[in-house]
Amino acid sequence: MIETSILSSLSKINEKYQMFRTITSDTEAGDAEFLFSAKDNLTSKDMETCSGSKILEGYRPPFDATSIARMRGAGGLLVGKTNMDEFGFGTFSTNSAFGVPRNPYDPERSCGGSSGGAACAAAVMDGHVAIGVSTGGSICCPASFCGVYGIVPTYGRVSRYGLLDYGNSLDKIGIISAKASDLGKYVNIMAGADPRDPTSCMQPDMGARRKLKSVAVPKDATEGVSEDVRMAFTDGLETLESLGVDVDTVEMPSLKYAIPAYYVIATSEASTNLARYCGMRYGHQKGDLSLKFDDYFTSFRSQYFGQEAKRRILLGTFTRMVGFRDRYYSKARMVRQSIIGEYRSVLRECDAVLTPTMPFVSPKFSDISKMTPLESYKADILTGPPNIAGMPHASVPCGYDRNGMPIGMQLVADQWDEGVLFSAAEEWEKTFESVRPEVSI
Amino acid sequence: MKIGLEIHVQLPTKSKLFCPCPTTDAPAPNTHVCPVCLGFPGARPMMNRKAIEYGILLAKMLGCTIRDTTWFARKIYFYPDNAKNFQITQYDRPLGEKGMYYLNGKKPIRITRIHIEEDPGKIKRVGDLSSLVDYNRSGVPLAEIVTEPDLSTPAEAREFLGQLIRDIRHTIDIPDDGERSIRCDCNISVGIERCEVKNVTGLKNVERALTYELVRQTKLLKAGGKVVRETRRFDEERGVTISVRKKEMEADYGYIDEPDLGIFNVKELTERLKIGESPQNMILRLSKEYGIDEKTAKQFVSTSVELAHLFEELAAATDTETARTWTSGAVSAGWKSFEARGGGDAAEVVSLIGKFKAGEITDTECNIRIRAFLTGTDVDEVRSGSADLDSIISEYLDVNPSVIEDYRKNERAANRVIGHVMKRTGGACSSAEIVDATKRLIEERL
Amino acid sequence: MDRETVEKVARSAHLKLTEEELETFSRDLSDILGYFALLDEAPDCENFGIDPIDVADVLRDDEPHMEIDPDKLLEGMDTYNNYVRGPRLL
Ligand SMILES: [Zn+2]
């Protein structure tokens, strides 16, 4: 049986960390075998679902996302919907319309994004399992900033039915937890073909768990990475070698195109997905009906979308416009194929590609506010490549900087080869001693 | 003048294109809807196999090139009936391209492409205050057929559409639910610049809208004006087209490929699916192969493809002339009644005519028995009715021998006899029977 | 991206921007597109896959059925006589 005391303290915890957008009113866990949370972009029948956006405020979906339904079916109790950047648009969870989650190691710093609330919940609450969603780094980034484990399965492994789309060819549902063994356990529960999401219907069975024997480190993996991160990563490599893992250096020249290609595909798709939010059917609908439809739609979208959502809509609308489509949208998709090809050839020779997860530790909110959009886009430099390629990847904690802020490293395996990541994370957990944040409420 | 058409045809699937909602008539607005066709966030499309099959059949019928893989795209435009504010359609890789379709078997009309897409919902206008949307139609599968501007007159466009629809109905078995289910965008240019008249429903309206445009554009050019590239709509009540928006105001649809559906390898399906002969091709073949005139061939085929098949069987069992005479006569006369009773095997007809050819029965007897068989009536009953009918006609011809002379010059002279007999029999005999008997008896006296 | 282009793109995306937003987005997007120029030097690739994995021939049978009561779906919507209310067309 599980501790029910956590249920009664949820709102207190949330007051301090703002990791939830919605909290369950249940105070008893009943027959539940585990407690879990879901990112606020997954539909849930019993809880509001807003994807961090004002435009969907008050929206109660009529159906459960497949991932949530499967977790419930396995005995899970959904305790809340976690805070996130609006529609997943961000690296620091500072773009939510509903408050900003605080880093459990330092409340002046970010939890990372866009699944910031999920990573925060996993770091703060004992035994908690958080469902996160990654489009370009939204699971590994916050997992590394919050010192927990995070996994993103292969694209198409977990059904996206009920996921409020950001980029349909990029979105992947995964798990964040303080416990490495949760990654395999809960991905297995959520995975499997679902006729409601055709892209989930091509998957082979989950591969067998397999010991990590060799990793490849791209030559410029630590280029532009902060000194603290570089040091922790080097320590991590040494530890791996001491565990008998072969470490090789490889050239992966196409990875440098991953970020622009990722942002082009992601925003092109996002700007079409967000077209439906227009003051009709769901979310805010009380508007001036005397306006002609174009103006009516425009008024809602201008009023309720946040700045980053507008920026990405503009970017994505531009990159698929006549005259620019070939240069941006079409080219970006070619680049994606080159990157997939490059990963494939490297992963024929070794089990995983290893890099730090983020180029720096979680920044202070005061520093984040000084960053330009492009600077924050570039923070995805290491998480972008596996995401655009649909490769399964995991972030594991590998050290702390002088202020005690956690640092993570990222393992990328070949498509459908999650098994090697599950066991690698579990093996790693046996050697690496995590420093849990102090939680007082 | 150049006319090109974009024709939208609803495909007769039982469920919608991307969701299992029924496509049948709904009891009330928004009752055949689900998260997918209402565009709910998090719901995604699931492809209906049957729609792809229908699409391939039509692409074949239009002589299109069907490439091995096909996929879908998002066309983005904001409109209240467009549940996601994008429509899932095809762009870079439509199901079929570069087809050729012959109007009356002679004039080639190039087919640019055929693709599959989802229908939007329907808007009911209430004054000018707001729109009321019914999404029952949202997601119903459509085939869009785009022609090159190869049609030259409004009448030709109408004729083309009529033939096309007849062929489509035959190929994918669409019930004849009136021509209103056909929606058309018409591109027309008299000079250089073209206009598009959007969303015209029905054959007659297509011809009206095009004729209006022809006159409008010609007048405009004669007066030294210029036709502007624009989108117009057709006001059915007033019979005029009205400008909706100029070219430069056209939305940039910003097409991207639809990532939620993947691609479709249709090579095997394309090889497996066979289309029957289209009615139009059958008319041409019958006339060529049997040397009968096109009018007669068309008469057979439009009565029923099965009747045309019977003609071919008869021709094989006897000879072309016998087959033509009997098919136009007694068989045609009883065919509607035969089909109304469920149709089926008509081998009896072939056997009866065979007996007549062999001299075993007279032509009158053959006629009676065919009629009895097709109408499901007792032979004696037909015989007595027919004898009555024959005697009424003969009586009239005896009194009015001039009819025979007139008939030599113009077959329409028979109408005088027919009119008289109709009055006399007062509905006891079908008009087809009377026509057949009259012609038979006149021809006996020629 | 100049202001005029930002305005044009915004119109197409159904966004009305304030003067300040126009200014900011014009600067941000120029910055971002400048970086995207990197794509021009990336080698072309023959295929361009729609998804990162192969998704092909996922089809469903043509069998009509309904799972969620349509009334439930309309619950959160602004409706009139079962029609969904929207803005005027003309
Ligand atoms: Zn539906």
**Residue B309 neighbours by CB under 8 Å, 6+ apart:** none
Given the residues A67, A114, A159, A362, the one annotated as active site: A114
Whether the Cβ atoms of residue B418 and residue B435 lie closer than 8 Å to each other: yes
What stretch of H or E contains A358? none
- Give the type of residue at B300: F
What stretch of H or E contains A96? none
One domain for residues B154 and B266: yes
Q: What are the tens digits of pLDDT across the range B157-183?
A: 999 999 999 889 888 887 766 554 689
Question: Which of B272, B294, B314 is the C-terminal boundary of a domain?
Answer: B272
Q: How far is the CA of B34 from the centre of ligand 1 (A)?
A: 4
- Token duo for residue B62: 């239009």
- What are the E-state strand segments in A170-306? 172-177, 214-218, 246-250
**A60 contacts C76? CB cut-off 8 A:** yes
**Residue B208 neighbours by CB under 8 Å, 6+ apart:** B154, B234, B239
CA distance C59 to C68: 21
Is A209 inside any structural domain? yes
Is A438 inside any structural domain? no
CB atoms within 10 A of CB B384: 12
Closest residue of C to A388, CA-based?
Answer: C52
pLDDT for B304 equals 83
- For chain B, how are helix, strand and coil distributed in percent, rounded to 5? 45, 20, 35
> CA C12, C14, C19, C21 torsion: positive or negative?
negative
Among C20, C23, C48, C53, the residue to mutate for chain A (most A Cβ within 10 A): C53
pLDDT for A401 equals 96
pLDDT for B31 equals 97
**SS3 of residue B381 by DSSP:** helix
pLDDT for A183 equals 98
CA A131 to chain B, closest CA, distance in angstroms equals 16
One domain for residues B365 and B325: yes
Over residues B397-401, the mean pLDDT reads: 85
From the list B202, B171, B172, B166, the residue with the least C-alpha distance to B184 is B202
**C61 contacts B46? CB cut-off 8 A:** no
CB atoms within 10 A of CB A12: 10
pLDDT for B303 equals 84
Round the average pLDDT of chain B to a whole number and report it: 90
pLDDT for B177 equals 62
Q: Is C74 on the interface with A (CB under 8 A)?
A: no
DSSP letter at B38 equals T
Q: How far is the CA of A68 from the centre of ligand 1 (A)?
A: 22
Q: How far is the CA of B43 from the centre of ligand 1 (A)?
A: 10
Q: What are the tens digits of pLDDT across the range A133-153?
A: 999 999 999 999 999 999 999
CA distance A320 to A306: 22
Residue with tokens 């920026």: A311
Structural domain including A195 reads 5-250+337-431
Over residues B312-339, the mean pLDDT reads: 88
- CB-CB neighbors (< 8 A) of C88 in chain A: 289-293, 296
Whether the Cβ atoms of residue A373 and residue C28 lie closer than 8 Å to each other: yes
CA distance B445 to B73: 70
**B49 contacts C65? CB cut-off 8 A:** no
Lowest mean pLDDT among A232-241, A303-312, B401-410: B401-410
CA A100, A104, A109: angle at the middle one, nearest 5?
55
- What are the E-state strand segments in A135-209? 149-152, 172-177
CA distance B250 to B230: 9
One domain for residues B120 and B224: yes
Q: Which of residues 268-307 of A touch C (CB under 8 A)?
A: 271, 275, 278-282, 285-287, 289-299, 301-302, 305, 307
Q: What are the tens digits of pLDDT across the range C4-26?
A: 999 999 999 999 999 999 999 99
- CB-CB neighbors (< 8 A) of B88 in chain C: none
Q: What are the tens digits of pLDDT across the range A206-241?
A: 988 999 999 999 999 999 999 999 999 999 999 999
Nearest by CB to B252, from C12, C59, C88: name it: C12
Q: Does the active-site annotation cover A138? A: yes
pLDDT for B328 equals 87
Q: Which of residues 317-346 of A touch C (CB under 8 A)?
A: 317-319, 321, 327-328, 330-338, 340-341
One domain for residues B259 and B329: no
The set of chains that have 3 or more CB pairs under 8 A with C is A, B
Given the residues A39, A81, A172, A179, the one annotated as active site: A39
Question: Which of A285, A314, A333 is the C-terminal boundary of a domain?
Answer: A333
CA distance A289 to A81: 33
Number of residues that this document lists for chain B: 446
CB atoms within 10 A of CB C5: 16
Q: Does the active-site annotation cover A370? A: no
Question: Which of B272, B289, B324 is the C-terminal boundary of a domain?
Answer: B272
One domain for residues B208 and B326: no
Over residues A288-300, the mean pLDDT reads: 92
CATH number at residue A77: 3.90.1300.10
Q: What are the tens digits of pLDDT across the range B419-430?
A: 888 887 766 677
Q: Is the backbone of residue B259 left (phi > 0), alpha (psi -120 to 50) or beta?
A: alpha
**SS3 of residue B47 by DSSP:** strand
One domain for residues B308 and B393: yes
One domain for residues A289 and A140: no
Nearest by CB to A43, from B39, B42, B262: name it: B42
Q: How far is the CA of C79 from the centre of ligand 1 (A)?
A: 18
Whether the Cβ atoms of residue A195 and residue C60 lie closer than 8 Å to each other: yes
Q: How far is the CA of B21 from the centre of ligand 1 (A)?
A: 4
First to last CA, chain C: 33
CB atoms within 10 A of CB A143: 38
Q: What are the tens digits of pLDDT across the range A360-400?
A: 999 999 999 999 999 999 999 999 999 999 999 999 999 99
Closest residue of C to B141, CA-based?
Answer: C62
Q: Which of residues 159-198 of A touch B (CB under 8 A)?
A: 160-165, 167-169, 195-198
Closest residue of B to A169, CA-based?
Answer: B259
One domain for residues A51 and A139: yes
Q: What is the CA radius of gyration of chain C?
A: 23
pLDDT for B217 equals 93
Over residues A305-323, the mean pLDDT reads: 97
Q: How far is the CA of B5 from the centre of ligand 1 (A)?
A: 29
One domain for residues B290 and B251: no
pLDDT for C68 equals 96
Given the residues A53, A67, A138, A268, the one annotated as active site: A138
Q: Is the backbone of residue A338 left (phi > 0), alpha (psi -120 to 50) or beta?
A: alpha
One domain for residues B288 and B243: no
One domain for residues A66 and A109: yes
Over residues B17-21, the mean pLDDT reads: 98
pLDDT for B363 equals 82
One domain for residues A10 and A151: yes
Structural domain total, chain B: 2
Structural domain including B36 reads 2-272
- CB-CB neighbors (< 8 A) of C63 in chain B: 14-15, 20
Whether the Cβ atoms of residue A145 and residue A362 lie closer than 8 Å to each other: yes
One domain for residues B268 and B348: no
**Half-sphere exposure (Cβ direction) of B193: Cα atoms closer than 13 Å:** 14
- CB-CB neighbors (< 8 A) of B251 in chain C: 12
Whether the Cβ atoms of residue A366 and residue A434 lie closer than 8 Å to each other: no
Question: Which of B249, B272, B295 is the C-terminal boundary of a domain?
Answer: B272
CA distance B236 to C58: 42
One domain for residues A113 and A151: yes
- Token duo for residue B194: 């073209």
CA distance A175 to A134: 10
How sure is the predictor about A2, in pLDDT bands with cuts at 50, 70 and 90? low
pLDDT for B367 equals 86
**A311 contacts C39? CB cut-off 8 A:** no
Q: Is A248 on the interface with C (CB under 8 A)?
A: no
Round the average pLDDT of chain A to a whole number and report it: 96
One domain for residues A240 and A294: no
Structural domain total, chain A: 2
**SS3 of residue A79 by DSSP:** strand
Greatest mean pLDDT among A418-427, B101-110, B201-210, B405-414: A418-427
pLDDT for B416 equals 87
Q: How far is the CA of A109 from the centre of ligand 1 (A)?
A: 45
* pLDDT of A356 higher than 80: yes
Whether the Cβ atoms of residue A268 and residue B76 lie closer than 8 Å to each other: no
- Predicted structure pTM score: 0.89
Over residues A281-309, the mean pLDDT reads: 94
How sure is the predictor about A7, in pLDDT bands with cuts at 50, 70 and 90? confident
How sure is the predictor about A3, in pLDDT bands with cuts at 50, 70 and 90? low
Q: How far is the CA of C60 from the centre of ligand 1 (A)?
A: 14
Is A196 inside any structural domain? yes
One domain for residues B178 and B213: yes
Residue spans of chain C under pLDDT 70: none
What stretch of H or E contains B131? strand B130-134
pLDDT for B250 equals 65
Distances (CA, A) of B82 to A300, B48, B133, B137, B144: 17, 20, 10, 11, 17
Over residues B307-326, the mean pLDDT reads: 91
One domain for residues A190 and A316: no
One domain for residues A206 and A245: yes
Over residues A248-259, the mean pLDDT reads: 96
Is A436 inside any structural domain? no
DSSP states of B306-355: HHHHHHHHHHHHS-HHHHHHHIIIIIHHHHHHHHHTT----HHHHHHHHH
3-state secondary structure A289-331: CCCEHHHHHHHHHHHHCCHHHHHHHHHHHHHCCCCCCHHHHHH
Number of residues that this document lists for chain A: 441
Lowest mean pLDDT among A78-87, A197-206, A260-269, B362-371: B362-371
Over residues A315-338, the mean pLDDT reads: 96
From the list B137, B146, B54, B46, the residue with the least C-alpha distance to B91 is B146
Distances (CA, A) of B142 to A275, B37, B49, B52, B182: 22, 14, 14, 11, 10
Task: Taking each helix axis as running N to C, give the angle between helix A258-273 and helix C19-36, from 0 to 180 degrees, rounded to the nearest 10.
Answer: 140
- CB-CB neighbors (< 8 A) of B256 in chain A: 268-269, 272, 320, 329
Percent above pLDDT 90 for chain B: 52
* Bond from prior residue into A114 cis (ω within 30 degrees of 0): yes
Contacts across the A-C interface (CB distance below 8 Å):
183
Is A382 inside any structural domain? yes
Distances (CA, A) of B158 to A121, B102, B162, B231, B299: 67, 14, 6, 21, 20
- CB-CB neighbors (< 8 A) of B72 in chain A: none
One domain for residues A351 and A305: no
Is A214 inside any structural domain? yes
Among B131, B140, B268, the residue to mutate for chain C (most C Cβ within 10 A): B131
Q: What are the tens digits of pLDDT across the range B235-282?
A: 999 999 999 877 666 678 999 999 999 999 999 999 999 988 888 888
Among A135, A299, A315, A326, the residue to mutate for chain C (most C Cβ within 10 A): A315
CA distance A406 to A419: 25
pLDDT for A294 equals 94
Is A14 inside any structural domain? yes
* pLDDT of A1 higher than 70: no
Nearest by CB to C83, from B69, B133, B263: name it: B133
Q: How far is the CA of B40 from the centre of ligand 1 (A)?
A: 10
